[in-house]
Amino acid sequence: DAWAELRSVSKTYQSRNQPVTAVHDVSLSIARGEFISIVGPSGCGKSTLLSMLAGLSQPTTGEVRIHGQAITKPYPGVGIVFQRDLLLEWLTVKQNVLFQIDMRRGRVKDYEGRARELLAQVGLQGFENRYPSELSGGMRQRVAICRALIHSPEVLLLDEPFGALDSLTREQMNLDLQDLWLDGKPTVVLITHDINEALFLSDRVLVMSSRPGTFVDDIRIDVPRP
Ligand code: ADP
Ligand code: ADP
């Protein structure tokens, strides 16, 4: 039961009139409820792949299908977290989480309970009315994850979400992310430099190599999950 399918997807950028192939002929099927990690060296095309999965950019050739339909514009059923948390400093923690609902023209009132629940789940109860500048890096990134999950997306896309955090905080974030995942088991695609993180969290690790930006390995992890 596939959530998404990439069919011979390539992406070439024009950079100073020189073509740069970021992703070359990638085919991939992502099952519903699967936790996939993509690892590979910097510049191999991981972010480009993720942005095509979200419909934020379009392949040069090939297609991205979600629920069997080719997507040609930003897909609303995704939640995304980037390495930089992109929190709005003038809004409180709760307002940052609910901002996503505002953007989607939802009724903010209907989501206040869920915002409180999500924040409590990552240990941020009591911080709802604080401002981002009062939080540590790990706490800020937890807020960003809650913001990505507030509209109950089909898929959570994570682009090096813990890349800017120290290793101890990363460990804690991994445990939190696993808890969040176990609660509902959404489909997750995680980009990371950290192979241990990938092995700990995922059902499947895709190894990507630069030149020409394609998958070189597809590892299924057969360790029983909690
Ligand atoms: P990764 O996420 O693995 O670091 P990216 O997808 O960010 O890789 O980049 C893959 C390649 O595409 C790199 O060579 C990068 O310089 C190039 N690239 C990415 N975005 C653009 C862009 N908007 N314009 C031109 N080249 C880009
Ligand atoms: P994290 O691992 O989330 O980055 P830290 O290791 O910096 O957080 O801090 C551990 C705990 O200390 C947090 O979970 C929080 O309870 C508390 N804490 C950290 N920074 C702050 C702050 N600026 N204001 C209030 N409490 C904080």
Q: What is the pLDDT of residue 225?
A: 63
Letter for the amino acid at 62? G
Beta strand ranges found along 40-119 (DSSP E):
61-66, 69-70, 78-81
What residue owns the CA closest to ligand 1's atom 5? 45
Predicted ipTM of the assembly: 0.70
Pocket test for ligand 2, best of 87, 130, 133, 139 (most atoms within 8 A of CB): 139
Tell me if 169 CB under 6 Å of ligand 2.
Answer: yes
Q: What is the pLDDT of residue 222?
A: 77
pLDDT digits over 108-158, tens only? 999 999 999 999 999 999 999 999 999 999 999 999 999 999 999 999 999
Q: Is 225 left (phi over 0), alpha (psi -120 to 50) or beta?
A: beta
Please indicate whether residue 131, judged by its CB atom, sits closer than 6 Å to ligand 2: no
Quick one: which atom of ligand 2 is closest to the CA of 169?
2
Average pLDDT in the chain? 92
- Ligand located closest to 17 CA: 1
Please list every protein residue whose CB sits less than 6 Å from any atom of ligand 1: 13, 15, 20, 22, 40, 42-48
The parts of the chain modelled with pLDDT lower than 50 are none
Which strands form 69-70's sheet, in the order they lie side by side?
Answer: 18-31, 2-15, 61-66, 69-70
Question: Which DSSP state fits 83?
Answer: S
- pLDDT (0 to 100) of residue 105: 85
Q: Tell me, what's the pLDDT at 224?
A: 64
Cα 158 to ligand 2 centre (Å):
22
